[in-house]
Amino acid sequence: MKISFTDSLPADTKLVAHVVSKGALPDSLENVLAAGAKAARFKGNAGQVFEGFAERNGKVVRIALAGSGDKDAGDRMAKLEKAGAGLAAKYSTSGESTVVLDISDSGLGAEEVAAVLLGLRLRNWRHDTYRTKLKEEQKKTLEAVKIVGAPTGAETAWADAEAVAEGVEFTRELVAEPANKVYPLSFVRKVRERFDGTEAEITVLDEEQMEELGMNALLGVGQGSEQPSRLLAVRWNGGGAERPTVFVGKGVTFDTGGISLKPGPGMGDMKWDMGGAGAVAGAMLALAKRKAKANVVGVMGLVENMPDGKAQRPGDIVKSMSGQTIEILNTDAEGRLVLCDALHWAQKEYRPDRIIDFATLTGAMIIALGNEHGGVFANDDSLADDLLSAGRQSGDKLWRMPLGPAYDKLIDSPIADIKNIGPRPAASVTAAQFLQRFIEDGTAWAHCDIAGMVWADKPGATWGKGATGFGVRLIDRFVRETVEK
Ligand code: BES
Ligand code: MN
Ligand code: ZN
């Protein structure tokens, strides 16, 4: 989507949009438009859009009023994004290619304008790669926004927001692509391509190197697949001498369950079992593109979980890189096996100040929180609070979940150090306890179980059906508020 700033209404304008706060129609609005908006019960609620027609520069043009809700709301930025998203939802396939956003008399500040644009761009994103037979009226037509009357600083504010948009879109693409297109090697290739031209540093470990390091838990998951596993690290050094913050992502590019095979119906969803790694990749792209003043590393464990003659079996025991042995009682509890080696390696390699993992780890997380919040587990209250706050500000919402010794006991194994499943109750918590056993004393750690958040069956605030890009804005906000300060 092309976004540009101009001083006056372009001569070829066909569609003009105004952002309208709740109950505050602009004075300059023609009487007939104001009356039309009133008759249509347009109140200026966030996301509400009213359409009318009026003469501008002697020509009849389409006029859209986009509601941004209560001016004094605590979640003002999210509401402004909804205003932009509302416009995209309405005009994406409308036949219009350009919307002129006239904010001359809106009173919006630079950051606020950027929020409207971010919402507009994110909601306008679609994954049409494989839809070769779309009818004309189904095709996306909206491809440009021209902003008239922006306050000073709006272009700079947008440059930062644009980096975030690119990150979210990259994540959505990785998540939406099927598993015959996104597998460990192609994931790495796409990251290399997308980071080309940035100053981020990319490291890839192949199976031989991982074997050397003793990453048998991660390798065991991939051993039933024809697709070789990879560990991918993207490092952004924008913060001087401070110890880095590390984000780790579960990148199971397809999860059949392995020998503990999942039931057929719904298994296709497991193409997005790499949503944690996808979020980390997209967030790192945003940070690199906006040149964040922080030292951050994104580590992604990339494997495909398949059943074949070489696949690992329930009952197998593996030795993880940390030295701890794991009894694998269910090959479908594979995410924790990938993460435990990735987490251990990341701590050894980078000595992080704090380490935060993102994973579509348990179905039980969806049972607990649905599609409204991701669950956050943490060994450090201030880290948890910072993540919860970043979640509220960004709209990628989290809810804190418990940890404790009574839960931890449930994953003791009679034959090895630890088993990879607990009993049915509290399955998301025992999964988190498993990960905690691989965190070194004194390291602040948080685990975000985002199983319910990376894919949407219905459109939301700034996304349509499908991949949401959850996590990118959360990580970006967390880095701004906690690391860059
Ligand atoms: N990737 C799944 C979790 C998942 C399920 C994410 C549904 C999104 C939607 C994970 O690898 C898994 O299979 N977890 C099992 C763990 C169980 C075997 C202890 C689960 O949640 O059922
Ligand atoms: Mn699984
Ligand atoms: Zn999985």
List, for residues 434-482, the tens digit of each pLDDT value. Answer: 999 999 999 999 999 999 999 999 999 999 999 999 999 999 999 999 9
Is the C-beta atom of 89 inside 6 A of ligand 1?
no
Residue 158 placed within a domain: no
Number of helical H runs and strand E runs in the chain = 14, 19
Q: Could you read off the pLDDT of 249-295 as tens digits, one per residue? A: 999 999 999 999 999 999 999 999 999 999 999 999 999 999 999 99
Final residue of a structural domain among 93, 121, 152 = 152
Residue having the nearest C-alpha atom to atom 17 of ligand 1? 333
Residues 411 and 476 in one domain: yes
Question: Distance between terminal CA atoms of the chain?
Answer: 31
Active site residue 14: no
Spatial CA neighbour of 67 closest among 141, 131, 17, 112? 17
Please give the biggest Cα pair distance in the chain: 83
Q: CA–CA distance from 93 to each of 87, 123, 129, 139, 289 (Å)?
A: 11, 12, 16, 6, 29
Pair 182, 146 in one domain: no
Residue 385 lies in a domain: yes
Is residue 449 in contact with ligand 1, taking CB distance under 6 Å? Answer: no
262 in active site: yes
pLDDT of 73 above 90:
no
The DSSP result for 129-161, as a single string, is: TT-TT--GGGS----EEEEESPPTTHHHHHHHH
Tell me whether residue 298 is in a domain.
yes
Note whether residue 95 is domain-resident.
yes
Quick check: 390 and 297 in contact, CB under 8 A?
no
Is ligand 1 within 6 A of the CB of residue 363? yes
C-alpha to C-alpha distance for 357 and 339, rounded to whole angstroms: 8
Amino acid identity of residue 146, one-letter, is K
CATH code, domain carrying 242: 3.40.630.10
Residues 85 and 202 in one domain: no
- Write down which residue in 102, 128, 152 finishes a domain: 152
Q: Are residue 133 and residue 194 in the same domain, yes or no?
A: no
Q: Are 38 and 135 members of one domain?
A: yes
Domain final residue, candidates 98, 127, 152: 152
Q: Is residue 112 part of a domain?
A: yes
Q: Are residues 173 and 222 in the same domain?
A: yes
In a domain? residue 157: no
Q: Is residue 174 located within the same domain as residue 202?
A: yes
Q: Identify whether 72 is part of a domain.
A: yes
* 3-state class (DSSP) for residue 7: coil
**Is the domain of 313 the same as that of 429?**
yes
Q: Which residues does 390 contact at the CB level (< 8 Å), separation at least 6? A: 396, 474, 475, 477, 478, 481, 482
Separation of alpha carbons 458 and 369, rounded Å: 17
Task: Report pLDDT digits (tens) over 361-396.
Answer: 999 999 999 999 999 999 999 999 999 999 999 999
For 463: left if phi > 0, alpha if psi spans -120 to 50, otherwise beta; the answer is: beta
Q: Which domain holds residue 399?
A: 163-482
- Whether residue 207 sits in one domain with residue 104: no
Number of domains into which the chain is organized:
2
Q: What is the pLDDT confidence band of residue 218, given thresholds at 50, 70 and 90? A: very high
Give the residue, by CA position, lying nearest to ligand 1 atom 16: 333
Q: What is the domain-level CATH number for residue 93? A: 3.40.220.10
pTM above 0.95, yes or no: yes
| Catalytic-role residue among 123, 146, 194, 336 | 336
Q: Are residues 145 and 199 in the same domain?
A: no
| Bridge-based pairing state of the strands 2-6 and 144-148 | parallel
The residue length of the chain stands at 485
Phi, psi of 456, deg, nearest 5: -120, 135
Same domain, 200 and 80: no
Could you tell me if 46 and 79 are in contact, meaning their C-beta atoms sit under 8 angstroms apart?
yes
Residue 336 lies in a domain: yes
